[in-house]
């Protein structure tokens, strides 16, 4: 793989001290200092929410807790959780803590059912957001001279505008391509000499494939960084994109309800973890069933409390994202806590004939099989009365054979491998290259057609 640019070159040789750190007084602070900042801001945030949002005042009064009860970080557990439902119930402005004329931007997340979730930002929130983005993009090797092609949509989704403002503030030249129209995206990379592509990882793979078909030699392209987020990215998918596009890819995490992108980002030193902007978020990891904290470093559900956000002061938001968090200093020099990349959510678990199946398990099995592409789809139905899971697996051209026996044996071998891990049988359907629909944004891997 060709590494392009001084920052990536330094990282590739382990010279992390040559990479810029946006705000070292925070990102490299001692744990005591980080926690002191968190506590001071948490106390203010709880007061802000209690004083200005009826929903919190009612819940806290009912739980017998008042803002003055927050004296340590651990006291956060006295507060009620917030979930998606709360934001739906109060649609559109019920959770807002500032008058609407102070709100300068709205975003929303549609979800699959029900009302959208609407979030607002005042001027201070926008500054805070841009600060979080400037940190994470520099962790990923982006520099002010970069030309950044934004392939996230510029709509209500937080991905497009959220990353745009921070990247622009850093000094990057923004190329607001928006999502979709893949051949045009590739043309723009060539015409404008884009050096960074911002998208979901699955869309970046699609750009890669279409470019290859168009005869692009990615090694010679100006593109050098892939800035991904919005959906899980397996190590195998990342490695494949890096190899084929000759770019270095990192992955950043966030969610609409607490800000959008900007919660955490991957640095170039340790590639499976993401640094949390801890002065802007208190993190907790809880048992998804009981809501009780798990031991530090253990897997559980991430709960986030944004700090200093004034338009919507969400407290203890249940993300449903499964991860673990560690606080040791990272090889990149940062001391902020790191969360393991999110691979699954507590609410994406499928129950197939009584057995729990996570789509990420299917993905892990497939990524270990030669001849299959990273594109797959899981279809579940119960037409026959019993749950039936079919995994559509897209083949690479070289895995195709004219021999029916050979193809059938390959199919059965995949079924066996899946059964070994999932402990429940599934059917595998082999699909020709390009046969699984590509998405320009987040890829939906599961189609659950079961009728109750």
166 binds ligand DLL (CB under 6 A): no
| Six-digit token string for 407 | 């193809």
Distance CA 100, CA 120 (A): 9
Q: How many residues bind ligand DLL (CB under 6 A)?
A: 20
Classify residue 397 as exposed, middle or buried by CB count within 10 Å of its CB (0-12, 13-18, 19+): exposed
363 binds ligand DLL (CB under 6 A): no
β-strand pairing of 225-229 with 173-175: unpaired
278 CB neighbour count, 10 Å cutoff: 23
Indicate the length of the chain as a whole number: 452
Instruction: Please report whether residue 232 would count as binding ligand DLL according to CB under 6 A.
Output: yes
| Nearest-approach distance from CB 43 to ligand DLL, in angstroms | 27
Nearer to ligand DLL, 67 or 162 (CB): 162
Q: Does 308 bind ligand DLL (CB under 6 A)?
A: no
279 near ligand DLL, rule: CB under 6 A? no
Nearer to ligand DLL, 254 or 306 (CB): 254
To the nearest whole angstrom, how small is the minimum distance from the Cβ of residue 85 to ligand DLL?
Answer: 15
The β-bridge relationship of strands 355-357 and 300-306 is unpaired
Contact status: 159 vs ligand DLL (CB under 6 A): yes
Binding mask of the shown chain, residues 9 to 38, with x at each position contacting ligand DLL by CB under 6 A: ------------------------------
Q: Binding of ligand DLL at residue 230 (CB under 6 A)?
A: yes
Q: CB burial class (10 A; 0-12, 13-18, 19+) of residue 14?
A: exposed
321 touches ligand DLL (CB under 6 A): yes
Q: Rounded to whole angstroms, how far apart are CA atoms 446 and 381?
A: 11
The residue whose Cβ lies closest to ligand DLL is: 229
List beta partners, residue 317.
Answer: 82, 304
Cα distances from 229 to residues 61, 112, 237, 261, in angstroms, run 38, 19, 13, 8
The answer to whether residue 109 forms part of the interface with ligand DLL (CB under 6 A) is yes
> Is residue 323 involved in binding ligand DLL (CB under 6 A)?
no
Q: How far is the CB of 259 from ligand DLL (least distance, A)?
A: 8
**255 scored as a contact of ligand DLL (CB under 6 A):** yes
Q: Angle of helix 158-170 relative to helix 123-139, nearest 10 degrees?
A: 70
Q: Cβ 231 to ligand DLL, closest distance in Å?
A: 5
With beta carbons less than 8 A apart as the criterion, state whether 436 and 392 touch.
Answer: yes
Give residues in contact with ligand DLL (CB under 6 A): 109, 158-159, 229-232, 251-256, 260-261, 319, 321, 341-342, 345
């Amino acid at each position: 793989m060709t590494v392009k640019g001084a920052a990536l070159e330094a990282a590739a040789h382990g010279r992390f001290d040559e990479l810029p750190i946006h705000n070292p007084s925070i990102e490299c602070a001692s744990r005591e200092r980080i926690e002191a900042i968190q506590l001071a801001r948490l106390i203010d945030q709880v007061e802000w929410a209690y004083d200005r949002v009826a929903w919190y005042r009612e819940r806290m009064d009912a739980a017998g807790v008042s803002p003055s009860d927050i004296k340590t970080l651990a006291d956060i557990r006295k507060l009620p959780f917030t979930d998606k439902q709360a934001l739906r119930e109060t649609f559109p402005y019920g959770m807002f803590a500032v008058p609407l004329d102070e709100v300068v931007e709205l975003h929303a997340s549609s979800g699959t059912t029900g009302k959208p979730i609407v979030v607002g930002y005042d001027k201070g929130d926008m500054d805070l957001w841009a600060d979080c983005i400037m940190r994470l993009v520099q962790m990923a090797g982006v520099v002010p001279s970069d030309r950044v092609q934004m392939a996230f949509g510029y709509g209500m989704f937080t991905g497009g505008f959220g990353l745009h403002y921070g990247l622009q503030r850093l000094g990057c030249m923004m190329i607001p391509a928006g999502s979709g129209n893949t051949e045009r995206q590739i043309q723009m990379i060539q015409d404008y000499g884009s050096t960074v592509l911002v998208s979901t990882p699955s869309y970046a793979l699609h750009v890669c494939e279409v470019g290859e078909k168009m005869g692009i030699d990615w090694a010679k392209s100006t593109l050098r960084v892939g800035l991904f987020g919005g959906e899980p990215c397996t190590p195998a998918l990342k490695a494949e994109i890096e190899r084929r596009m000759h770019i270095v890819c990192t992955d950043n995490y966030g969610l609409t309800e607490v800000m959008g992108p900007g919660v955490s980002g991957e640095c170039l030193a340790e590639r499976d973890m993401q640094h949390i902007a801890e002065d802007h978020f208190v993190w907790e990891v809880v048992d998804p069933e009981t809501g009780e904290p798990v031991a530090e470093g253990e897997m559980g559900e991430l709960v986030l409390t944004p700090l200093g956000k004034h338009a919507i002061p969400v407290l203890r938001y249940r993300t449903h994202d499964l991860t673990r968090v560690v606080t040791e200093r990272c090889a990149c020099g940062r001391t902020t806590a790191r969360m393991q990349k999110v691979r699954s959510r507590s609410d994406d678990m499928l129950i197939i004939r009584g057995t729990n199946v996570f789509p990420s398990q299917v993905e892990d099995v497939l990524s270990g099989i030669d001849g299959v592409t990273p594109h797959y789809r899981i279809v579940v139905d119960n037409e026959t009365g019993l749950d039936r899971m079919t995994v559509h697996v897209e083949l690479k051209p070289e895995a195709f054979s004219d021999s029916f026996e050979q193809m059938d044996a390959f199919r059965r071998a995949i079924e066996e491998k899946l059964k070994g891990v999932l402990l429940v049988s599934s059917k595998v359907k082999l699909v020709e290259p390009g046969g699984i629909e590509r998405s320009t944004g987040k890829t939906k891997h599961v189609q659950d057609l079961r009728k109750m």
